Amino acid sequence: MLVKSGSGVLTMGASSSAGVTPGAVADTLVAPYNDLEAVAAAFRRHGKSIAAVIVEPVAGNMGLVPPARGFLKGLRALTARHGALLICDEVINGFRFGFSSYSALYGGVTPDLITLGKVIGGGLPLAAIGGKAKWMRQLAPDGPVYQAGTLSGNPLAVAAGLATLDVLEREQPYARMADLGSALAVGVSTIAAEHGLPITCQSFNGVFTPFCTDRPVTNLADAKSCDTALYAKVFHGLLDRGIYIAPSQFECNFVSAAHAERDVDAFLSAFEAVCRTLPA
Ligand SMILES: Cc1ncc(COP(=O)(O)O)c(C=O)c1O
């Protein structure tokens, strides 16, 4: 929604991109991730006018930040109590950690609506929304909400997506990707500590972000407190050694089904070589 929180969730935010109108900003409240009390406060203040809460179950858009215990269940309880929808944005999460959505596999919550993209397209431009029949029936042609586009249901993208999901279902690479991801994350954090560098690699089932801080990152404020100049040095050091991680501290990296143990070893050797060039 490209709206950033102002000084707090209860104040009106500002747009974080040109082209987002004040009207759109005024319709959006932003609460910090993993902060159930901030969401509860928004409901106390704005009560019935909140239509829905949208959350990435495992946050990927500030680097990889897993949900705190009880956070998603708490959002489910709050939205249910106030008659608002819970929308899980699983554009990154869906089919990434296992052959389903994060909310179904690990979150222990049933959202009203879910958004999917990326993996389900197998590299082609495909996205989807789904959810409870009551809400899906609101969409045209059954309901009054018009939804259509040039590429809606595009046969090429759908064929690619189905083929990808077939392979994932058959080969189930998830446990292997998770093992490689956690070996990589533990390796990065350990090597950084040995070199006295404040780098903590957070990971969840094969998705990871090396955060340039020695504290856990639980929300955007924590992510923003990271040493981005150090991240840039790590990024360029790895790039010089043939490894291209995300070019921003606020993105995540993905172990893929094509990766193997030797790739993790190569990553960690390159990372260690980079650490040797950095002052502690
Ligand atoms: C979590 C998340 N939601 C939504 C989007 C946007 O999805 P789309 O590109 O299908 O509009 C992105 C980015 O690509 C994303 O990372």
In a domain? residue 19: no
What distance in angstroms lies between residue 217's CA and the mean position of ligand 1's atoms?
22
What distance in angstroms lies between residue 278's CA and the mean position of ligand 1's atoms?
35
What distance in angstroms lies between residue 22's CA and the mean position of ligand 1's atoms?
22
Strand order in the sheet with 85-90: 52-55, 85-90, 113-116, 128-131
Q: Which of 109, 140, 171 is the last residue of a domain?
A: 171
Quote the CA–CA distance of 277 and 133 in Å, as a whole number: 57
Say if residue 131 is in the same domain as residue 189.
no
What's the pTM?
A: 0.94
Nearest CA to ligand 1 atom 3: 91
How do 52-55 and 85-90 pair as beta strands? parallel
Quote the CA–CA distance of 277 and 280 in Å, as a whole number: 9
Residues 190/219, Cβ–Cβ less than 8 Å? no
- The whole-number average pLDDT for the span 207-211 is 98
Say if residue 178 is in the same domain as residue 162.
no
In a domain? residue 67: yes
Residue 10 scores a pLDDT above 50: no
- The whole-number average pLDDT for the span 21-33 is 90
Say if residue 167 is in the same domain as residue 83.
yes
pLDDT in tens, 244-258: 999 999 999 999 999
Residues near ligand 1 (Cβ within 6 A):
56, 60-61, 89, 91-92, 117, 127
Residue 129 scores a pLDDT above 50: yes
Residues 217/204, Cβ–Cβ less than 8 Å? no
Q: What domain range is 241 assigned to? A: 174-277
Say if residue 112 is in the same domain as residue 226.
no
In a domain? residue 90: yes
In a domain? residue 2: no
Q: Which of 119, 137, 171 is the last residue of a domain?
A: 171
Confidence of residue 15 (pLDDT cuts 50, 70, 90): confident
For ligand 1, what atom is nearest to the CA of residue 127? 10
What distance in angstroms lies between residue 117's CA and the mean position of ligand 1's atoms?
7
Domain total for the chain? 2
What distance in angstroms lies between residue 190's CA and the mean position of ligand 1's atoms?
32
% of the chain with per-residue pLDDT over 70: 97
Say if residue 195 is in the same domain as residue 94.
no
Say if residue 154 is in the same domain as residue 189.
no
Q: What is the CATH number of the domain that holds 135?
A: 3.40.640.10
What distance in angstroms lies between residue 116's CA and the mean position of ligand 1's atoms?
8
Nearest CA to ligand 1 atom 13: 91
Distances (CA, A) of 186 to 28, 141, 223: 38, 50, 19
Say if residue 136 is in the same domain as residue 196.
no
- The whole-number average pLDDT for the span 130-154 is 94
Which of 17, 92, 207, 248 has most ligand 1 atoms within 8 Å of CB, for mutation?
Answer: 92
Identify the sign of the CA torsion 252, 258, 263, 264: positive
Nearest CA to ligand 1 atom 11: 127
Q: Which of 88, 87, 105, 274 is nearest to 205 (CA)?
A: 105
- The whole-number average pLDDT for the span 1-23 is 69
Nearest CA to ligand 1 atom 15: 91
% of the chain with per-residue pLDDT over 90: 87
Confidence of residue 13 (pLDDT cuts 50, 70, 90): low
Q: What is the CATH number of the domain that holds 205?
A: 3.90.1150.10
In a domain? residue 24: no
- The whole-number average pLDDT for the span 35-55 is 95
Say if residue 41 is in the same domain as residue 165.
yes
Say if residue 123 is in the same domain as residue 155.
yes
Quote the CA–CA distance of 107 and 99 in Å, as a whole number: 14
What distance in angstroms lies between residue 279's CA and the mean position of ligand 1's atoms?
37
Residues 228/212, Cβ–Cβ less than 8 Å? yes
pLDDT in tens, 167-207: 999 999 999 999 999 999 999 999 999 999 999 999 999 99
Say if residue 162 is in the same domain as residue 179.
no
